[in-house]
Structure 1
Amino acid sequence: MTVRNAGLVHQVRMLRAGAGDPSMMLAQFRLSAVLVPLWGDEAVWTADEGGLRWIFAFSSKAELAGFVRSKGLAVDGFPYMTVFGSRLLDVAVPELGVPGGIALDVAGKEPMLFPPVRGIVPDAVALDGPVTTGDTGVG
């Protein structure tokens, strides 16, 4: 499958230029097929930063190759999978087991983060999600 994400790249550029609409960019990401590098035993490549776990995703093979090269690794044959952004946000992020989000094109000129907040990831794993009250032991 050839990944062509001109719409996603355009939305990211518009937002970074201060002229975009965050909801349109998020919608475009959710509809886009992105490349996710695999590490180790076919696990998606993640990194922990700022108390969050970030899943790496790329809008094109060129963006993925730039990232792989930046890590000093060989690009040829580097394993990756193609997945829709919606699946990353709705399935992969909750499966992390810790607060996390998506880091798009992190080695490129126009990276974008999709943090674990309501409206981006499911409320159950959003850091600003609904507060549940349980037995406090008081009383």
Structure 2
Amino acid sequence: MELTAEIAAIRGGGGDPARLVGEFRRSVLLVPFAVGPEGTGDADGAPSGLMSAVTGGVRWLYAFTDEDALARFAAERGDAGREWAYLSVLGARLTDALVPMVGGPAGVVVNVADADGSMLFPPVCGIVPDAYAVDAVDAERSGAF
């Protein structure tokens, strides 16, 4: 099953969270580069100038399952008229290599502009490396390790 189908299954109240994470890790995702006001690659703390946002102390890297999903995001931002440069990367590479570069809690939001098809992959054990998972840090502080 592809990632969008796994997301739909989870959002529909069924699905298997482990299968969802596995499909996320195997999927090639499109991660747009941030473009600042002067056309710079300033991403305000995101690795390699990748587009992201910070909410609740977590940096969320934007990722899309295909160009149509990225185009819907661009349209929602009122920015559909420009060309969007992006990185094609496996979900596993995104969480295992790029999340550690952030320097704080970071996760991935897939298809953020799709009200019924978006999914958060938060910075927790089983999604990001344990050393960067907020629940591993909490467990370590509580003496569970």
Same fold (TM over 0.5): yes
Q: Unpaired runs of 5+ in structure 2?
A: 36-40, 42-47
Q: Secondary structure at the match of 1:128?
A: helix
The whole-number CA distance in structure 1 between the counterparts of 2:56 and 2:72 is 23
Distance 1:69 1:26, change over 3 A: same
What is the Cα deviation at residue 104 of structure 1? Answer: 0.3
Equivalent positions of 1:88-103 (< 5 A) are 88-103=94-109
Contact 1:65 1:75 in 2 (8 A): no
1:110 — aligned with what? 117
Superposed CA RMSD: 1.6
Total equivalences in the alignment:
128
Q: Normalising to structure 1: TM-score of the pair?
A: 0.86
What is the Cα deviation at residue 81 of structure 1? Answer: 1.2
1:55 — aligned with what? 61
The whole-number CA distance in structure 2 between the counterparts of 1:62 and 1:76 is 14
The whole-number CA distance in structure 2 between the counterparts of 1:61 and 1:75 is 14
What is the Cα deviation at residue 47 of structure 1? Answer: 0.1
Equivalent positions of 1:1-139 (< 5 A) are 7-40=2-35, 41=41, 43-108=49-114, 109-130=116-137, 131=140
**Higher Rg of the two aligned structures:** 1
Structure 1 runs of 4+ aligned residues shifted over 4 Å read none
What is the Cα deviation at residue 75 of structure 1? Answer: 4.6
Q: Unpaired runs of 5+ in structure 1?
A: 1-5, 134-139
Q: Normalising to structure 2: TM-score of the pair?
A: 0.83
